[in-house]
A and B are shown apart, each in its own frame.
Chain A
Amino acid sequence: MLLTGLWALPMLTAPLVWAAPSRRAARLLALAASSAVLLYSIWLWGPFSAEEGLLRLHESGAPGAYGLRYHLAVDGVSLSLCWLTAFLSLVSIVATWSDERPNAYWAAFLALEAALMGVFLMQNLFWFYVFWDAALIPMFFIIGLWGSGNRRRAAFKFILYTFVGGLTLLLGLVGLVALHHQATGAWTWEIPELTRATASGPWAPYVFLAIAAGFAVKVPVFPLHNWLPDAHTEAPAAGSVMLAGAMLKMGVYGLMRILVPAFPALSAAALPWAAGLGVASILYGALCAMAQKDLKRLIAFTSVSHMGFCIVGIFSLTPEGLSGAALQMINHGLSTGGLFLLVGFLYERAHARGLDDFGGLAQSAPWFAFFFAFVMLSSIGLPGLNGFVGEALSLYGLLRASPPLAAAASLGAVLAAAYGLPSFQRVFWAPPGPASRSPLVRDLTFREQAVLWTLAVPIVGLGLFPKPLLDLVAPAVQSLAQR
């Protein structure tokens, strides 16, 4: 029952929150639930480290026919992602703590958190996929109902585009199980068994491509990314935090948990293509970010760039690259989550997100300027903050795999400075334009500062002391790289 509680708790409280008598009661219940989940997930660290072996805290239901068992387990990577999800859910609930949100808003976040936890815990492909698609529905309503501007179109585009990935992934997963049956004659949907035998056969490359494409849409990787800017631009602040902070990690986690272990030979063979696409994501994302006029679209493209580092780290198939990717997932969640919160606060105050809508905020809102600079620096990979460590390890992994690509990827750091600092200068330093909405922007309230400080502490902490997290993911990464 240990792990089931992790996803069942938010899933069960979601309807209660929805049916709560008053909005205030709903918010308080949601706050209680999400903090309980966070504390519970951190408490899990005890039993987790007590056990041995790669996958721990196993928990499975009755062995159904054909291996369709309800089976949960967790390793270093998924536990850290559970922490990230729980932490970001709590942060997004506290950050948007206001009265005009209806009960369904809080229920949607709890449902989203439950679905994400499910994805990171499930070891059975059927259940993995159920939670994978289930996560889309709350996010569809979060973007669609409480977003801004043309949220309906963005939500519709988001869910359809992600279903394209989802259905390709479903085809791939079923194909993987069929290939495994051809190879070993046994039917199983258990990820540990599936990844033990290497799938081969005439259909193997197509299945590999289908699964890779399915996950690539979610990551997103360069050509399949254009649902992200629209979804982020229209999502509410907390929605963007969860979308960028936790949902993008489903794709990367899928690659690490299913694709690479199931097809070690093909992953190695696909290195130039996959790493090439990763580098393309880094450079394309950064360049597009430089050209954006809307702050949220800019941060959305930076996410494409950062996720490119994860892809590069994974497909280098080196332990350093993989631990870099695992670390980058957590770091990106924190820094981009912070950025989206800040832009959300801006939008709350001035109902505008354009770079040219603001100016000279450093004088009128110094705390705003401090936190925005702090999180932006972490996002562009300033050493000493958390962004750098993940990127450096991923680059190192890529260097071991193919030096020219590593050189190209390292250009991403220059482009990062090129999109990070000018936007900061435009909004905070440059004098306000005639139609500027800066006067509307009053400085951060105590609650908002508290939320941002809780984000800033891990940002610096992981930047200077990433060792505990690296040790946590080391065994999982080691087994991945050995294949």
Chain B
Amino acid sequence: MNAELVAWAAASALFSIGTAFLLLRRQLVAMVVGIELMVNAANILIVFHAVRRADPQGLAVALLALAAAAAEVVVGFALILSMRNDENEAPESSHLRELSG
């Protein structure tokens, strides 16, 4: 039983770290890393339970989830790279303040 607990602990820990990345870090690249962490956390859980239930569908889902996450990252970087600012420091969320109210 404790295996399941370990799995849940790992997944939730990883998930909260990923979310924390997204919430607290200012650099956009770090936030993309956070997104990846959250997806991997979910994958841990899925794979663990797929193996425990010997259900191939779960494994297929985990695989596809990785692919989806990859696609997400690609789109994210596409947008981040097109951010041009003169001081050429790392793009940060604080630069994105024009739209408000």
Chain A in direct contact with chain B (Cβ < 8 angstroms): no
Question: Which A positions have Cβ atoms within 8 angstroms of B?
Answer: none
